[in-house]
Amino acid sequence: MAHNHQEPFFKALLQGYLQTFKNIFKNSSIFTTMVLSIVLYSFFYPTAYKAETAENLPIIIVDEEQSFLSNTIIAQVAKSPNVKITEVTGNFEHAKQMIQQQKADGILLLPENLSNSVMRGETGGIGLYLSSAYFLKTKEIGVGLGTAIENTIAEQMQKFGKVSHFHPAIPIHQIPLFNTLSGYGSYIFPAITPLIIHQTIVLGLCMLIAGYREQKWRVKAPEFFGIYLAALSIGCMGCFYLFGFTFWLNDYPRGGNFWGMLFAVPIFISCVIAMAMVLASYLDISERAGHLIVFTSIPLFLLSGAAWPLQAMPTWMQHFSSILPSTQGINLFIQLNQMGVPSSTIIPKLIYLVCLTFVLMIWAYYRLSNTYKK
């Protein structure tokens, strides 16, 4: 007898699953949001950061001494791929005006007492003035100039080592662990990928369910789980496509913990779907879904801790961000895909996402089975 009751349920579940796919493909807006946008983002985002690191950033060199040492430093700086010397001048005020006019991003000041200072074992008084309007540019210029200056002065100090008490410090070598190229694309795209999946599912499902509710629709259990499974299929395929093909195509760090990633993806997607269903139950028309995306995407990324450390944020903001599935997902997949942490390390995040999924699914089912647009 129990078998007879189960058979109609699973038949209705399959119908709900297939009907959801049909409705998604039939509605061009939802299909574009949930399916085509993933393909678009997979090529659009990485293309912008193809170079990985900023190169040929314009700088001005103010050479007050015009000596052999200063010429050597200028020659070494010119070899750096990070910077491009736009002008060599002896007028610091002129160089400052060029920065203000955004014709250059940095000034390298070689003072008139540079050679004598180096011979005495002093630092040389070299000045590096950087426009902090763009932090990424500031970093790359600092790396390019710092390396060139360090190497040149080290050579000069070795020449004067016998007549000076100065001894060069032991060099420090920085070795990146996970982002081996220290590239911006390898940093930003893996961090934003879970948020892309998150936002496309939330927007697409909210549009779909809000459209149903405009027709005074009340969900039944098989249909509810059919919608969930259809969205789960799309979300998982989107994750596997981005984490697999797109990361491979652009040579981003990947595959650190492959089996852990496979296990974590459906859990994360389930939580996002449940949250989307809850949000959709409060929308009266499908167009309202766009309002959610407009003001949430950037705050969600900032609250993930990928753009700015969570530890540097106010305490209440840290606690609030830890509640969000997007924060858990972004950090979860950075750990799995890039860092390759053991699966045991991310168990607390998975447990939280599973518990949150159950709470949100119950909430969503209660809302969608008892309310409709009035």
Tens of pLDDT, residue by residue over 288-306, are 777 777 778 888 888 888 8
pLDDT tens digits for range 251-261? 887 778 889 89
Phi and psi at residue 126, to the nearest 5°: -65, 135
Taking residue 323's Cβ as centre, other Cβ atoms within 10 Å add up to 11
Structure confidence at residue 139 (pLDDT): 67
Rounded-to-10 torsion of CA 107, 113, 116, 122: -60
Q: Which amino acid would we find at residue 269?
A: I
Q: Is 128 helix (H, G, I), strand (E, B) or coil?
A: strand
> Edge to edge, what strands does the sheet with 83-89 contain?
83-89, 57-63, 106-110, 127-130
Residues paired with 85 in a beta bridge: 59
Kindly give, in sequence order, each residue whose CB lies less than 8 Å from that of residue 44, ignoring residues fewer than 6 positions away.
none
pLDDT less than 70: residues of the chain: 1-7, 51-55, 118-125, 131-140, 142-144, 147-148, 150-151, 153-182, 371-374
Helices (H), the chain: 2-26, 28-31, 37-48, 68-79, 92-100, 114-119, 135-159, 184-213, 221-240, 247-249, 258-280, 288-302, 315-323, 325-333, 347-370
Cα–Cα dist 117/124, whole Å? 5
Distance from C-alpha of 344 to C-alpha of 24, rounded to nearest angstrom: 37
Bridge pairing between strands 106-110 and 127-130: antiparallel
- Helix, strand, or coil (residue 83): strand
Q: Is the overall model pTM greater than 0.85, yes or no?
A: no
**Token pair 């393909």 in the structure block, residue:** 39
Q: What is the pLDDT of residue 175?
A: 59
**Dist CA 224 CA 16 (whole Å):** 8
Domains of the chain: 14-50+183-370 (no CATH), 57-163 (3.40.1710.10)
The contacts of residue 77 (CB under 8 Å, 6+ apart) are: 59, 61, 83, 85, 108, 144, 145, 148, 149
